[in-house]
């Protein structure tokens, strides 16, 4: 008998699941991520946060993903705290405190379909500050932001800027993404920012972007496994309930075989994500390579199960009123988060390839929309 035990069980998972269940068929308003205090989860205690582990944050991600609810938990609660810790200690503490208490709404200004270290913004050092120039396609704009963390290329290296959202202005384009998020294209046309806006550069910026990207890949993996689990359970329930020619669909051998293959994909993905979290906690030297390999495997499993579930649901699989359809869309969208599988394969085959080379083989525009 198939079992679907949670990846990271506990109170955080239960509370996130209840919230997602209550909002599964209604539009989310306000800023629940910050109102519920989730942004303080991995912020260190000395900076006013909870000081919890990444697995605790993954519990929240799992609870939200199980009901196909889109909230930028990975970005607001995982990526932002890690990036802020690249700043000088006094600066980092001040902004982490603001994030933990919800007085600052900070979001990464990065394309959801690209790795965080693939900066598309160019920075130039001026006499009285910096000038930022470039555009970011497919950023998450689901929640309001008071500030943006902007990775940029500065004098041949990476830098990280914290910019007031009012300086950046309204997006050039806004749209709904496949999984129901609000996406946006933002253009920075010779935007002048003060000297203090650059909170990290060089090795500090590079290391923080890689660390944040690792966190994003791990949490995205937990999101994928949670969505897989819910999708297969909904598919099994549907096949047991529906009948054709007077018999349950679940008795058809071809459908039973398809569900068995979906379950095997799910179990493999689950074991892989647990292994990746263990490697992250242990500080494994080859963590980056492990996460890229996991991303490729998870993307293939997610696409197979999403397509199989849609086929199993027949015509109902095309209706967004059906939760299984939204879960399938979420899985297809997750395949492209933080670099599609082609981009990660390219990085694995050419470890010394530059960020630009990796970006050339990914489907940036298509995956963002």
- Torsion sign, CA atoms 318, 320, 322, 328: positive
Looking at every residue in the chain, the average pLDDT score rounds to 91
Same domain, 111 and 99: no
Do 271 and 157 have their domain in common? no
Asked whether residue 245 carries a pLDDT value surpassing 90, the answer given is no
pLDDT at position 178 is: 84
- Report d(CA 18, CA 31) in Å as an integer: 17
Same-domain status, 232 and 281: yes
User: pTM of this prediction?
Assistant: 0.91
Q: Please indicate, yes or no, if residue 354 is contained in any of the structural domains.
A: no
38: pLDDT strictly greater than 80? yes
Give the mean model confidence (pLDDT) for residues 187-200. 96
What number of residues does the chain have? Answer: 369
Q: Which helix (H) or strand (E) holds 288?
A: helix 287-312
Residues 24 and 152 in one domain: no
pLDDT at 255: 94
pLDDT digits (tens, 9 = 90+) for 132-175: 999 999 999 999 999 999 999 999 999 999 999 999 999 999 99
113 and 247 housed in the same domain: no
User: How many Å apart are CA 90 and CA 117, to the nearest integer?
Assistant: 24
Beta strands in the chain (DSSP E): 106-108, 121-126, 129-140, 147-154, 157-164, 173-176, 182-193, 198-201, 243-244, 247-248
287 and 321, same domain (yes or no): yes
Q: 61: domain range? A: 7-104
List, for residues 204-239, the tens digit of each pLDDT value.
Answer: 999 999 999 999 999 999 999 999 999 999 999 999
9-27 pLDDT, tens digit per residue, is 999 999 999 999 999 877 7
- Output the pLDDT for position 90: 96
Average pLDDT, stretch 329-345?
93
**Residue at 32 is within a domain:** yes
- Give the model's confidence band at 351: pLDDT under 50 very low, under 70 low, under 90 confident, else very high: low
Whether residues 122 and 240 fall in one domain = no
The per-residue pLDDT for range 246-296, each reduced to its tens digit, is: 899 999 999 999 999 999 999 999 999 999 999 999 999 999 999 999 999
Give the Cβ contact number of residue 134 at 10 Å. 18
Show which of 193, 222, 252 is a domain's final residue: 193
- The per-residue pLDDT for 30 is 86
Both 111 and 100 in one domain: the answer is no
Residue-wise DSSP of 19-39: HHHHTTTS---S-HHHHTTGG
Output the pLDDT for position 362. 46
Tell me what pLDDT residue 369 has. Answer: 35
């Amino acid at each position: 008998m198939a079992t679907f035990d949670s990846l990271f069980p506990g109170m955080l998972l239960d509370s996130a699941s209840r919230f997602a269940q209550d909002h599964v068929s209604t539009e989310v308003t306000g800023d629940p991520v910050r109102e519920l205090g989730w942004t303080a989860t991995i912020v260190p205690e000395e900076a006013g946060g909870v000081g919890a582990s990444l697995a605790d944050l993954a519990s929240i991600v799992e609870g939200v993903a199980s009901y196909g609810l889109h909230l930028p938990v990975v970005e607001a609660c995982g990526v932002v705290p890690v990036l802020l810790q690249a700043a000088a200690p006094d600066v980092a503490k001040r902004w982490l405190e603001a994030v933990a208490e919800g007085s600052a709404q900070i979001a990464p200004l990065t394309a959801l379909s690209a790795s965080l270290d693939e900066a598309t913004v160019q920075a130039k050092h001026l006499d009285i500050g910096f000038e930022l120039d470039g555009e970011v396609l497919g950023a998450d704009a689901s929640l309001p932001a008071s500030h943006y963390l902007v990775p940029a290329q500065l004098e041949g290296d990476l830098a990280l800027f914290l910019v007031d959202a009012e300086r950046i202005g309204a997006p050039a384009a806004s749209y709904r993404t496949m999984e129901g998020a609000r996406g946006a294209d933002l253009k920075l046309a010779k935007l002048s920012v003060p000297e203090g806006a650059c909170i990290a550069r060089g090795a500090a910026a590079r290391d923080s972007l890689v660390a944040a990207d690792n966190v994003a890949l791990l949490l995205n993996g937990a999101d994928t496994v949670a969505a897989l689990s819910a999708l297969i359970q909904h598919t099994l329930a549907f096949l047991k309930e529906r009948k054709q020619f007077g018999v349950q669909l679940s008795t058809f051998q071809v459908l039973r075989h398809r569900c068995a293959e979906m379950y095997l994909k799910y179990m493999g993905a689950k074991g892989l994500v647990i292994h990746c979290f263990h490697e992250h906690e242990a500080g494994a030297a080859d963590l980056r390579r492990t996460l890229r390999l996991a991303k490729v495997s998870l993307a293939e499993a997610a696409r197979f199960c999403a397509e199989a579930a849609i086929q199993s649901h027949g015509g109902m699989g095309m209706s967004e009123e059906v939760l299984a359809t939204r879960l399938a869309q979420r899985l297809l969208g997750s395949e492209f988060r933080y670099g599609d599988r082609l981009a990660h394969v390219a990085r694995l085959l050419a470890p010394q390839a530059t960020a630009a080379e990796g970006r050339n083989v990914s489907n940036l525009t298509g995956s963002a929309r």
